[in-house]
Amino acid sequence: MKYGNILAIIPARGRSKGIPRKNIKLFSGKPLIVYSIVAAKASKQIDKIVVSTEDEEIAEISKKFGVKVIKRPIELSEDNSTTMDVVKHVLSVLKETENYIPGVVVLLQPTSPLRTVKTIEMAISKFLENYEDYDSLLPIYPIKSKIGTIKKGFFIPNYVLGSQRQNIEQIYKECGTIFIFKTNLIEEGKMFGKRLFPFIIQNYEESIDIDTIDDFKQAEYLESKNEK
């Protein structure tokens, strides 16, 4: 295949600050990270799944659910550590230990537990269908809102004041549902190039990226509704 193997990386550090031990906090009865592992394993397009963590408990849970764990250095698990550095570390270890070099990397953050395998497969398919034209895929969610910035104490709107919401230009916000990029982009030291494929997340539930305890409660409530 022209795009090579597809590697899924699930980054999960144990040192989360906003919600302590967030990645393994019980979410509807299961550790949060389990939802991303299960969804990744259900995808027929992903060739290999790796959890990157410095935390022994996260590693044990991940192994229990049948995925490979790559232990990351403590310095890549601090608040100022970048996802780019984590991805580069995983790729380096796989190349050195297994001579495994994927062509495409799929990043699945544990903080999007309501992401479905259908969405994962659709995102991968869309990216591969447009492989020659794009170097990375960014998940976005459509919103219509009267937004602006504050400069020197004044509100600067990005819309015509008095406009009705339905007449405002459609805008989108980035969400954390799924990220995809070509490996050669990572080798160049970046995750997102100029040729971004806009993958629109239509379902609000799947756009939720858990950062606060309120996010956690809201996502858990929506999950409980799905189970009924």
Q: Do 104 and 182 form a contact (C-beta atoms < 8 A)?
A: yes
Q: CB neighbours of 214 closer than 8 A, spacing ≥ 6? A: none
Q: Where are the domains of the chain?
A: 6-139+174-227
Above 70 in pLDDT, residue 203?
yes
Helices 56-64, 32-42: inter-axial angle, 10-degree rounding: 40
What's the pTM value of the predicted model, to 2 decimals?
0.91
- Which stretch of DSSP H or E encloses residue 182? strand 179-182
Q: What local confidence, expressed as pLDDT, does residue 166 receive?
A: 75
pLDDT in tens, 1-12: 577 899 999 999
User: How confident is the prediction for the chain on average, in pLDDT?
Assistant: 92
C-alpha 151/C-alpha 148 separation (Å) is: 10
Read off the pLDDT of each residue in 49-56 and give the average, rounded to a whole number.
96
> 109 or 143: which carries more pLDDT confidence?
109
Q: Tell me: domain 6-139+174-227, CATH 3.90.800.10, correct?
A: no
b/e string for 158-179 if b means 16 or more Cβ within 10 A? ebeeeeeeeebeeeeeebbbbb
Provide CB contacts within 8 A for 101, sequence distance 6+: 4, 5, 91, 94, 95, 183
Split at pLDDT 50, 70, 90, the class of 76 is: confident
Task: Tell me if 27 sits within 8 A of 219, measured CB to CB.
Answer: yes
Structure tokens at 198: 């806009």
